[in-house]
Every structure is written in C-alpha cells, then in structure tokens.
Structure 1
Amino acid sequence: MSFERARDHLAGLGLEGRILTFDVPSATVDQAAAAVGVAPERIAKSLTFLVHGAPVLVVVAGDARVDNPAFKATFGAKASMLGIDQAPELIGYPVGGVCPFAVAAGVRVCLDKSLRRFETVYPACGDAASAVELTLPELERASGSTDWVSVTRLPGS
C-alpha cells in the first residue's frame, strides 16, 4: 500500500518512470546503494524526528550524520528520532521504506544541504525494495519542500 501511494504521487508528477524496484532488500543505505549500483552517499535517506510534538522528516545524503548542535540550532529542539512503531503512524511509511513524498498530513519535510553535492539522488519509494532517481529540483517538487537545512556533518568533518 505504501509503495502504491508513493508511485501514484510520482505518477501525478510524471516521474513514475524513474522508480526502481528490487528483488533484494534496500532498507539500509548500504543495501540501497548495492541494489541501485551507486555510492552510498547518493542514497537520500529520510530521517524522522519528533520536534515540539510534531513529526519532521529530513532528507540527507547517505554518508551524512546528524549534527546535534546544528539540529538544535535549526529546530530549537534536541534531535529525537521516531521509534520504529511511530514512523508508519506519524509519517505514513514503514522504517526502511520512508520516503519524502505523499507523507501523512502535518509532516514537515526538509532537505539537507548534504544532498547538494549530487545531480541526482535516490530516496526510497515507500517500501524496503524500491527507490527513485530524482534531480534535486524534482526532489523539491515531489516532496513539496523548498526548506533546505544544514543539520548534518559529513565523514571527516
């Protein structure tokens, strides 16, 4: 059901031809990178948080890690990730397939600047065996977000 919702949303934007489905799991960054055939940093992982009682989804590059001081400075709260049982209810997708489009009402979607290194990225597409290749403008359009944040750090920084 989650995959179909994401697919239908992308179809409405003319992007359904970019969806990839796999016979192997793609729930983790490394699994998704292997399934797609790209470096792990090009996987756009969707991290979910509860901020002041409301769900926030931040899309970050696969090699990026949350920088707690930057997160707190941006959102005014400590980074508190949703539990595995909370994501489907609050975001609309299960962990391992969380994507930044066609999310539940009231979810704020933000894109992290760590993604700006790439021409295209690969977020999940609603389940743990799919992805979609999108340019950054397409990711903005599909997610409905023009809110770029800087809440991560990259390896070696």
Structure 2
Amino acid sequence: MSIERVREYFKTKGIEERIQEFDGSSATVALAAQALRCEENRIAKTLSFHIKEKVALIVMAGDAKIDNPKYKAQFGTKAKMLSFEEAEPLIGHAVGGVCPFAVNPGVEVYLDVSLKRFSTVFPACGSSNSAIELNMEELEEYANPISWIDVSKLPEGSQQ
C-alpha cells in the first residue's frame, strides 16, 4: 500500500506522526478540503503527466488549472496526463492518493508557483484518505522537486 511507503519515507524525516488519515475519502480537492475543514485552494493536488519519455508530477494549488501555453513553453510539448491505469505502476501511487513523496525512481517532481500564496498546504500521502500539512520549505524539502515552475492559471480574481 503506497501510504505505507509514504509513512516509511516520512519516518526517516521524523514526521510520520503528522500524516492525517480520514474515515471518508479525500481523493478529490473538494473531498480533501471537506475532510480537512480548509479552503479548496490550499489542497496541494498532484497531477501526473507524460513529458516526452519521462513521467512527471506537478504539484499545484487546488484551485489552479494547467495553462496549456505555459506548459508547452516550460516542457516543449503539449500536456498529456497519465491514464488512470498508468498512475500506480508508473508513479507508485494510485489516482486519489498521488503525491510527490516516495515515488518510483525516475519520476520527476515539479512544484507550481500557485502554491506560494499560502503559508501551508495539504498534499495527499499515498492513499485516497490521507494528507499532511506542510509549509513551503517542508514541501520543497520532502518532495525534492526538480524546480519551481509556473504552468498554472487561477480562477478569475485569484492572485498568483
């Protein structure tokens, strides 16, 4: 079970007790926000993509969407998400629990600037009913990203 992979990873960092598990699902931004009693935009959703020959995860704010022109400028290709069936074997986590922690070797992680609006955010922890609250420095340390990128667009009226 991939939450166990994440728990073991966080145990090496001394923060495994910070993982929150819920009775109900937190598999979507709306469900996670409900379980955590926070705004949807503070959910750090992790989207999975094929980028040429690689698999990449982009962690972004719950209210952000991929901005296709920005994505193409960043990666030199159109955005192509992994299918439901591809997620677990390629990343190590199933859809609903995809997170940037304890992923399969070779999976690249990027953090989107849409997250920087918040002092803390809530990424999943490898299952469809888990999350952890992290500040930006912790997220960067534990996700070990290639870099921060800007490939998102926010709803009208939101600040980047």
Give the match for residue 74 of structure 1. Answer: 74
The reply to whether residue 104 of structure 1 matches residue 104 of structure 2 is yes
Q: Which runs of 5+ in 2 are unaligned?
A: none
Give the match for residue 8 of structure 2. Answer: 8
Whether the aligned pair in 1 keeps the contact of 2:109 and 2:145 (CA below 8 Å) is yes
Give the Cα–Cα distance (whole angstroms) in 2 for the partners of residues 146 and 115 of structure 1: 16
Indicate the SS of the match to 2:80.
Answer: coil
Summarize deviations over 1:23-61 as a string: whole Å, max 9, x none. 000000000000011000000000000001210100000
Give the letter aligned to residue 84 of structure 1: F
Whether the aligned pair in 2 keeps the contact of 1:112 and 1:149 (CA below 8 Å) is yes
The reply to whether residue 61 of structure 1 matches residue 33 of structure 2 is no
Give the match for residue 30 of structure 1. Answer: 30
Q: Which runs of 4+ in 1 moved over 4 A?
A: none
Give the match for residue 40 of structure 1. Answer: 40
Q: How many residue pairs align between the two structures? A: 157
Give the match for residue 151 of structure 1. Answer: 151
Summarize deviations over 1:74-101 as a string: whole Å, max 9, x none. 0111000000000101111000000101
1:17, CA displacement in angstroms? 2.3
Indicate the SS of the match to 1:137.
Answer: helix
Whether the aligned pair in 2 keeps the contact of 1:91 and 1:103 (CA below 8 Å) is yes
Q: Which runs of 5+ in 1 are unaligned?
A: none
Give the match for residue 86 of structure 1. Answer: 86
Give the Cα–Cα distance (whole angstroms) in 2 for the partners of residues 53 and 36 of structure 1: 36
Whether the aligned pair in 1 keeps the contact of 2:108 and 2:146 (CA below 8 Å) is no
Identity of aligned residues (%): 51
| Aligned CA-pair RMSD | 0.9
Q: TM-score, normalised by structure 1?
A: 0.98
Give the Cα–Cα distance (whole angstroms) in 2 for the partners of residues 31 and 11 of structure 1: 26
